[in-house]
Amino acid sequence: MRPEDLETNMLRQQILSGDLKTVVLDIDPDNIDVARMKFCADVISRGGLVCFPTETVYGLGADAFNEAAVENIFAAKGRPSDNPLIVHICDTDMTEQVASLNDAQRAAVQKLGEAFWPGPLTVIVNKSPAIPAAVTCGLDTVGVRMPDHPVARELIRLSRPIAAPSANLSGRPSPSRARHVQEDLCGRVDVIISGGDARVGVESTVLDVTGEVPVILRPGAVTREEIAEVLGACDEADWKKPADVDGKPRSPGMKYRHYSPKAEVVIYDGSDPAERRAAMARDGNEYAARGLNVGILTTDEGLEAFGDGFAVLTLGSSRNLPELTHSLFARLREFDERKTDVVLAEAIPEEGMGDAFMNRLYRAAGGTVVDIR
The residues of the shown chain that bind Mg ion, judged by CB under 5 A, are 165-166
Is 306 in contact with 280 (CB distance < 8 Å)? yes
250's CB contacts (< 8 A; 6+ apart) are 208, 215, 217, 237, 242, 243, 244
CB nearer to ligand AMP: give 251 or 260.
251
Q: Which does 80 bind (CB under 5 to 8 A by kind): Mg ion, ligand AMP, none?
A: none
- 3-state secondary structure at position 349: coil
Q: What is the distance in angstroms between the CA of the first residue and the CA of the last residue of the chain?
A: 70
CB nearer to ligand AMP: give 239 or 268.
239
Is 217 in contact with 254 (CB distance < 8 Å)? yes
CB nearer to Mg ion: give 165 or 242.
165
Q: How far is the CB of 96 from ligand AMP (least distance, A)?
A: 17
- With 0-12 CB in 10 A as exposed, 13-18 as middle and 19+ as buried, what is 99? buried
Q: Which does 215 bind (CB under 5 to 8 A by kind): ligand AMP, Mg ion, none?
A: none
Q: Which does 141 bind (CB under 5 to 8 A by kind): ligand AMP, Mg ion, none?
A: ligand AMP
Q: How far is the CB of 273 from ligand AMP (least distance, A)?
A: 31
Q: Which does 136 bind (CB under 5 to 8 A by kind): Mg ion, ligand AMP, none?
A: ligand AMP
Q: Which does 142 bind (CB under 5 to 8 A by kind): ligand AMP, Mg ion, none?
A: ligand AMP
Is 147 in contact with 153 (CB distance < 8 Å)? yes
Q: How far is the CB of 191 from ligand AMP (least distance, A)?
A: 18
- 3-state secondary structure at position 140: coil
CB nearer to Mg ion: give 137 or 288.
137
133-164 as b/e: b if 16+ CB within 10 A? ebbbeeeebbbbbbbbbbbbbbbbebbbbbbb
Is 144 in contact with 77 (CB distance < 8 Å)? no
Is 84 in contact with 179 (CB distance < 8 Å)? no
**How far apart are the C-alpha atoms of 195 and 28, rounded to whole Å?**
6
Is 140 in contact with 112 (CB distance < 8 Å)? no
CB nearer to ligand AMP: give 29 or 252.
252
Q: How far is the CB of 142 from ligand AMP (least distance, A)?
A: 5
Q: Which does 252 bind (CB under 5 to 8 A by kind): ligand AMP, Mg ion, none?
A: ligand AMP
Sites of contact with ligand AMP (CB under 6 A): 83-86, 124, 136, 139, 141-143, 165-166, 203, 206, 217-218, 251-254
Q: Which does 100 bind (CB under 5 to 8 A by kind): Mg ion, ligand AMP, none?
A: none
CB nearer to ligand AMP: give 203 or 346.
203
Which residue of this chain has its Cβ atom nearest to ligand AMP in the complex? 253
Is 105 in contact with 210 (CB distance < 8 Å)? yes
Q: Which does 353 bind (CB under 5 to 8 A by kind): ligand AMP, Mg ion, none?
A: none
Number of C-beta neighbours around residue 274 at 10 A: 10
CB nearer to ligand AMP: give 252 or 352.
252
CB nearer to Mg ion: give 252 or 316.
252
Q: How far is the CB of 60 from ligand AMP (least distance, A)?
A: 9
Which residue of this chain has its Cβ atom nearest to Mg ion in the complex? 166
Compute the half-sphere exposure of residue 232: CA atoms within 13 Å on the CB side of its CA: 6
Q: How far is the CB of 253 from ligand AMP (least distance, A)?
A: 2
